[in-house]
Amino acid sequence: MPDIKLAELRCCFFAFDYNIEDNYRLMKWLQEYFQRKKLGIRLLAPVERMEDLNILKDLHRQLSIAHFGIAEISNNNLNVIYESGLLYGMRKPLTSHPP
């Protein structure tokens, strides 16, 4: 298993195609769901916040702190596939929608 430190707050990386408006609604729904259920899960998505001007470096930072990931793969977006592959390579649990 990957070396992921358990903390009070868990992080979920959400990979999705930024060109599809419905994906932003799904991201908001996921954030609200995690909060409403008091699961202690924070959603990470590069579109939400980048701490470094180097996008690739910040993407890898977000992926490294994520405990698991969700990927919206309905249109086979190459960025989503890349991010999913990185999560897989880091041995982090990943689920996709649609299954």
pLDDT in tens, 53-77: 788 899 999 999 999 999 999 998 9
Q: Is the separation of the CB atoms in 12 and 41 below 8 Å?
A: yes
At 97, is the pLDDT very low, low, confident or very high (cuts 50, 70, 90)?
confident
Across the range 23-30, mean pLDDT stands at 95
Tokens of 63: 């992926």
**Structural domains present in the chain:** 10-97 (3.40.50.450)
Distance CA 21, CA 30 (A): 15
Confidence category of residue 21, pLDDT binned at 50, 70, 90: very high
CA of 99: how far to CAs of 39, 51, 71, in Å?
22, 31, 10
